[in-house]
Amino acid sequence: MKALVYQGPGKKQWMDVPMPQLANPQDVIVRVDTTTICGTDLHILKGDVPAVQIGRILGHEGVGTISEIGTGVRDFAVGDRVIVSCIKSCGHCVNCRSGLYSHCLGAEGASGIGWVFGHLIDGTQAEYVRVPYADNSLHKLPDGVTDVQAVMLSDILPTGFEIGVLAGQVKPGDVVAVVGAGPVGLAAMMTAGLCGAATVVAIDLDSGRLEQARSFGATDTVTSGTVDWKKQVLALTDGAGVDVAIEAVGLPATFSMAVDIVRPGGHVANVGVHGKAVELHLEELWIRNITISMGLVNANTTPMLLKLVASHKIAAERFATHFFTFEQMQEAYETFSNAATTKALKVVISRVG
């Protein structure tokens, strides 16, 4: 089969590799019909995730059809159309039983790490992928949900909702600021209304992304490159600061921005993947009663979000801006990594035939 293989920092190749094989009774093999690229994939290519070894097939988002099934799988059958969750879950360990799937203690990949696809085991930017713990790591697709909609539920929608909105403890009436109007930031904006946010402020350097943000739930936009950006945000809160600031970029400067605009007693929810150290000025923050949260998505809200997509309450297809075939995988990366020029949000990469 063909797959996109990591060849070291800055290097990747679409090449022939062996077909995946069932390794455990709980495994299935999924024929990947649609995949996409995440900002985390770009971090891997920059060398920010050293655990990813040369030779690893990249990707952790996918929608496909089960082609082979292990003897221990109970809830799925060959031919089922499924979402591959970015997080594997054994379903039995103490962390999985408490809903902390991101730290699954199952031995697959590594004990204590739920994100394994394209990281510690081969991923979804391939024609086929082996999925461990299938009963807990796949979601069957209902009729009427397209591949384009479904692939957004592999990662970005649950990540924006869980690590941004839920971890930020957004409440009815809150003012929420999202620093970074990329795909995950937009997912946080799109789902903030589920918890009753009254005002959602999108903050970004890119005026084009800010314009797009309004169709994802932003009520106000602020260009972060302007001298008075902070004053503009505070003006929306009568000077008090926002109730919840969601950082969705992963840079020291954007984390500092989120901390600067949150009110006393408010929440900073860090969603961005950071490749560099961030200064945390506790000498200034301790007196402001601020809560700071961060983490890896558990994907335990995926079934609920899938129901909302199926009932047309969440328009997941809006994230898709560019479309490619598997043979255009390298071109898709070029488009996604140059989003400031191409205006790409999520690139959709699909099998032909």
Specify whether the backbone of 47 is left (phi greater than 0), alpha (psi in -120 to 50) or beta: left
pTM, to two decimals: 0.95
Which CATH number do you get for residue 270? 3.40.50.720
Q: Is there a single domain that holds both residue 212 and residue 283?
A: yes
Q: Is there a single domain that holds both residue 168 and residue 280?
A: yes
Range of the domain at 239: 159-294
For the cut 90, the answer to whether the pLDDT of residue 190 exceeds it is yes
Q: Is there a single domain that holds both residue 173 and residue 240?
A: yes
pLDDT at 274: 87
**Band (353; pLDDT cuts 50, 70, 90):** low
Q: Is there a single domain that holds both residue 97 and residue 122?
A: yes
What is the rounded CA–CA span in Å between residue 152 and residue 157?
6
**177 sits in which H/E element:** strand 175-179
Give the chain's domain count. Answer: 2
Mean pLDDT for the chain? 96
Please give the single-letter amino acid code of residue 243. D
pLDDT in tens, 3-21: 999 999 999 999 999 999 9
CB contact at 8 A, 202 and 335: no
Q: Is there a single domain that holds both residue 217 and residue 309?
A: no
**Band (177; pLDDT cuts 50, 70, 90):** very high
Q: Is there a single domain that holds both residue 149 and residue 8?
A: yes
| C-alpha distances out from residue 111 to 25, 115, 211, 269, Å | 18, 11, 42, 26
Backbone φ and ψ of 305, nearest 5°: -65, -35
pLDDT at 252: 96
pLDDT in tens, 264-285: 999 999 999 888 899 999 999 9
**What length is written for the chain?**
353
Specify whether the backbone of 271 is left (phi greater than 0), alpha (psi in -120 to 50) or beta: alpha
Long-range contacts of 7-16 (CB under 8 A, 24+ apart): 7/54, 7/55, 8/54, 9/45, 9/46, 9/47, 10/45, 10/46, 10/47, 11/45, 12/45, 12/58, 12/330, 12/333, 14/326, 14/327, 14/329, 14/330
| Across 155-180, average pLDDT | 98
For the cut 70, the answer to whether the pLDDT of residue 191 exceeds it is yes
Q: Is there a single domain that holds both residue 286 and residue 331?
A: no
pLDDT in tens, 303-340: 999 999 999 999 999 999 999 999 999 999 999 999 98
Q: Is there a single domain that holds both residue 147 and residue 171?
A: no
For the cut 70, the answer to whether the pLDDT of residue 204 exceeds it is yes
Q: Is there a single domain that holds both residue 279 and residue 308?
A: no
For the cut 80, the answer to whether the pLDDT of residue 195 exceeds it is yes
